[in-house]
Chains A and B, each alone.
Chain A
Amino acid sequence: MAEVRWDGVTKRFGEVEALSELHLQAAEGEFLVLVGPSGSGKTTALRLLAGLEGVTGGHIYIGDARVDNVPPRQRQIAMVFQDYALYPQMTVERNLAFGLRIAGLPKPEIRVRVDEAAEILGLSDLLKRKPRELSGGQRQRVALGRALVRRAQALLMDEPLSNLDAQLRAQMRSEIKRLHSQLPTTTVYVTHDQVEAMTMGDRIAVMEGGRLRQVDAPATIYEQPANIFVAGFIGSPAMALNTVGVASTNDGAVLSRGETTFAVGPAALPREVVLGVRPEHCRPWADGAKLHGPFEGGVVAFEALGRESFVTVETAAGCRFTVGCEGTAGVGIGDRFRFGVSHGWLYVFDPASGESLGRH
């Protein structure tokens, strides 16, 4: 197991720059998740690490070795693909053993490793079957197994759970986490699903448009997003973002748009900022609670999820907030709704650069 590093890596496809000067590393044994929308460059970064593509600029390191021009088979990495990529004419056993046989490992050794991986993944009964006879979840486990037997320095996963239904996905998520705790291989995991990212990663690297936007532990990413993109991408339902004006008063800064105002105490802020508030910090108005507000607006949307619901409210000034409520909110579109915002949970961002200006 080894550390992997992207050192100023750039990748261009013709005119298009898919990855710009990526500086990122995954420490030994770390589970690093690359997350972002399509076109963010996360898959490019993974494929460059695997050696399936060549870098246009910068370097890739696996361990101490610079591997820019090293072919995939010599990088000692293993990869799990979204469509599993199992060899269709071979049994599970031969699928697992394929790479080992090419490497020239002696038969007994191959046997040992295959059985071991099969045991860990619960595949021992399926060794003689062919991929087409397996369910989606079983196939994914075989794909994992194939990566396991290689005892690679790094394990790369390209959206492996995207083809599974929601329930299976949840199951496999914990399976993969369990595996990682048992065999802590350096893992780089690519996904577009932020739930996967948040639950699985030791650290999350949020990417957008070929650039790294923030890399941190999940909690940090959630509570201290570095910019508007990360703030809006992570968290479901998404953080409500509104542009507001800033006025200076004796008591400090006041953020406002129309009658929607927030007094935030002393703060050095530009004249206009983007204000972000997460749904869990917007509450239906209750007198006596320590909240900014009351604010009132018309209900434009709501989602009732049983245990909780989310009501999107638009104030007269045109600001939209998503209010988290316990249970079912019992509102209809167009109803008036009063809500407040918790103190200390206003995220402020610079409108031009998108960078975070702190939490107030």
Chain B
Amino acid sequence: MSQEAEQHALRSRRSHPRSPGEPRLVPYLYLLPALGLYAVFALAPLGHAAWLSFFNWDGVTPATWAGFGNYRAILSDPQIRSAFVHSFVLVIFYCVIPVLVGLLLAGIFSRAGSVRGLSGFRTVLFLPQVIPTVALAVTWRWIFGPDGPFDQILRAVGLGSLARAWLGDFTLALPAVGVVGSWVMYGLCMVLFIAGVQKIPQSLYDAARVDGAGPVREFFAVTLPGLRNELVVAVVLTLISALRSFDLVYVMTKGGPGTSTDVPALEVYTRAFEFGEVGSAAAVATTLALLIFAVAFLVTRLGSRGTT
């Protein structure tokens, strides 16, 4: 279509005087089934969760109004606070480390042009994302078990004194779970960033090189800005994954030992279904949801700042 016509199509999509004969109600008909299902089984429950958070309820007997009581309890309850702290620790493992690793590799590959066999590497690197988390949890629980493969490796390289039951250690259990998260996420980041890097025009690198930039300067001046979109996606995906973490924790440690690997999602589950504190659970759930929305919004905002 001519450029003018393109501009038209774009402009008229935003203004609403309809073109002659264009169906008036039909769009809504197309949307209705999807919207209906989505509203009933996804949006309504979200609102309902917020609603429930203002009550004290055990799930069986009638509920009593609690106002913001559940939320105040969150702020004062050390267990919930530590759960959120743990999830922030997980953010370092799920998000920061894989993103950095991915960026490092992207930086290395930015000078490579095309890589032969890349699709093969991509398939393997992406594999951890595909396997059911429960299966991964089972696997890594075995790996980190006492005298498990990880301990075996430690002993083999002469660090046998460090060998222990990692998931039973109060301080080390959480990092152990984190390590699994890093392992799951780094492939995703690598795949994302390598693909992004290949989209950066070679001419930008040539220009930088002519200007006298070394590899480090090149990375910060060309690679990093060029990966802006991919960075936002990677950070959002991994960050949310860290905050939402349930499957891994539930299967690997059930929040233990003690509460050292407790995370918000697990709190939601145990409070609602094991302790019958539905209102409190709903409050945690709503807080978690709000936190995730805020983070996603912030990161996307930060990411698009500075682009025209």
Contact with A along B1-44 (1 / 0, CB 8 A): 11111001001101101111110000000000000000000000
Stretch at the interface among A37-45, A102-110, A237-245, A284-292: A37-45
Q: Which A residue's beta carbon lies closest to that of B16?
A: A14
Q: Do the beta carbons of B17 and A56 come within 8 Å of each other? A: yes
Tally of chain B residues near chain A (CB < 8 A): 16
Q: Which A residue's beta carbon lies closest to that of B10?
A: A13
Tally of chain A residues near chain B (CB < 8 A): 31
Residues of A with C-beta under 8 A to B15:
13-14
Residues of A with C-beta under 8 A to B18:
54
Q: For A51, give its contact among B1, B2, B8, B19 (CB under 8 Å).
A: B19
A72 to chain B, nearest CB (A): 7
Q: Give Cα A72 to B20, complex, Å.
A: 7
Q: Do the beta carbons of B3 and A38 come within 8 Å of each other? A: yes
Q: Give Cα A162 to B12, complex, Å.
A: 23
Q: Do the beta carbons of B1 and A82 come within 8 Å of each other? A: yes
Known: A52-B19, A54-B17, A69-B21. A13 touches B12 (CB 8 A): yes
B58 to chain A, nearest CB (A): 55
Residues of A with C-beta under 8 A to B11:
13-14, 16
A22 to chain B, nearest CB (A): 15
Q: Give Cα A38 to B4, complex, Å.
A: 6
Q: Do the beta carbons of B21 and A53 come within 8 Å of each other? A: no
Residues of B with C-beta under 8 A to A44:
4, 8
Q: Which B residue's beta carbon lies closest to that of A15?
A: B15
Given contacts A51-B20, A53-B12, A158-B2, 5 further A-B contacts (CB under 8 A): A39-B4, A44-B8, A53-B19, A85-B1, A158-B5
Ordered by A's residue number, 25 sampled pairs between the chains whose C-beta atoms are within 8 Å are: A14-B14, A38-B3, A42-B4, A43-B4, A43-B8, A44-B8, A51-B19, A51-B21, A53-B8, A53-B12, A53-B19, A54-B17, A69-B20, A69-B21, A70-B21, A71-B20, A72-B20, A72-B21, A73-B21, A74-B21, A81-B1, A82-B1, A82-B2, A158-B1, A159-B5
Interface residues in chain B, defined as those with a beta carbon under 8 Å from any beta carbon in chain A: 1-5, 8, 11-12, 14-15, 17-22
